[in-house]
Amino acid sequence: MYLTEIEEFIQANNYPAFNPKAIFFDMDGVLFDSMKNHAIAWVAALRKMELPFTEYEAYMNEGRTGSSTIDGVFNNVHGRNATDEEKQKIYKLKSKLFESFKHSKRIPFVSKLLKKIKAQNIEIYVVTGSGQPSLIDSLDEHFPDIFQKEKMVTAFDVKYGKPHPEPYLMALKKSGLQPWEVIVIENAPLGVESAHEAGLFTIGVNTGPLEPKILTNSGANLVFDKMKNLLNHWDNIVKQ
Ligand code: CA
């Protein structure tokens, strides 16, 4: 099962094999069921500055750094990038709103998947556009003994962010692995695009409201509609 997709991936990239030794996890929408709250906070913060934005647009922009999202809105409305001052003001407001909401829960079944991967002696990385200073504490609290500080790429590490391949290429460099030794798990079109452009095998898990075909069109090698289904099929993708 999934041999066709794996074979297609090897051939399309001219790789010698597919031998996963590390999994790169996106965070929002993959580890945490946090996207709804992010979307509401973005809409409210931008509208307060009289900048029109919808929750659907928040999902379509998911994965970008805050700075890049704000520049996108400014370009649509004012035909220019936002100033640093404007960015700070909006991002601060958005973060304050997000933090005022009830804490995000874990995506169902992702904890089981992480434990399974750890037991397979496969390394686990986080690659996120989030710039939350206490990220590792929050990960440790929800997923004890899974994540390590040195195995993370966040908004603080990158210049461009997703959909540019930079964050995933940076994680690849950190891991010291070859591109055919990694799997990416993403939920958003721009995240899938970033991983695909980095030449990595990309699994889309459609945890949000978008059409699953958007993930396929962005370059996902496999798409699942629930984390539970990915967990159930994991042994067909990564054989021990
Ligand atoms: Ca995401």
- Both 223 and 139 in one domain: the answer is yes
CA 117 to ligand 1 center in whole angstroms = 20
Torsions phi, psi for 237 (to 5 deg): -95, -45
Reported pTM: 0.93
> Mean pLDDT, to the nearest integer, of 65-69?
92
Q: Ligand 1 mean position to 240 CA, how many Å?
A: 28
Kindly tell me if the per-residue pLDDT of 134 is higher than 80. no
119 and 186 belong to one structural domain: yes
Q: What DSSP designation does 178 have?
A: -
Bridge-based pairing state of the strands 123-127 and 222-224: unpaired
Is 196 within 8 Å of 76 (Cβ atoms)? no
Same-domain status, 110 and 148: yes
Q: What is the Å distance from ligand 1's center to 86 Cα?
A: 24
- pLDDT tens-digit series, residues 166-222: 999 999 999 999 999 999 999 999 999 999 999 999 999 999 999 999 999 999 999
What is the pLDDT at residue 132? 75
Domain count, the chain: 2
φ, ψ of residue 124 in degrees (nearest 5)? -120, 125
Residues 122 and 223 occupy one common structural domain: yes
Distance 61 CA to ligand 1 centre (A): 10
Query: Contacts from 39-42 at CB under 8 Å and sequence distance 24+?
Result: 40/97, 40/101, 41/94, 41/95, 41/97, 41/98, 41/101, 42/69, 42/94
Q: What separation in Å is there between the alpha carbon of 60 and the centre of ligand 1?
A: 10
CA of 90 to the centre of ligand 1 (A): 20
Please give the residue range of the domain that contains residue 112. 3-34+105-238
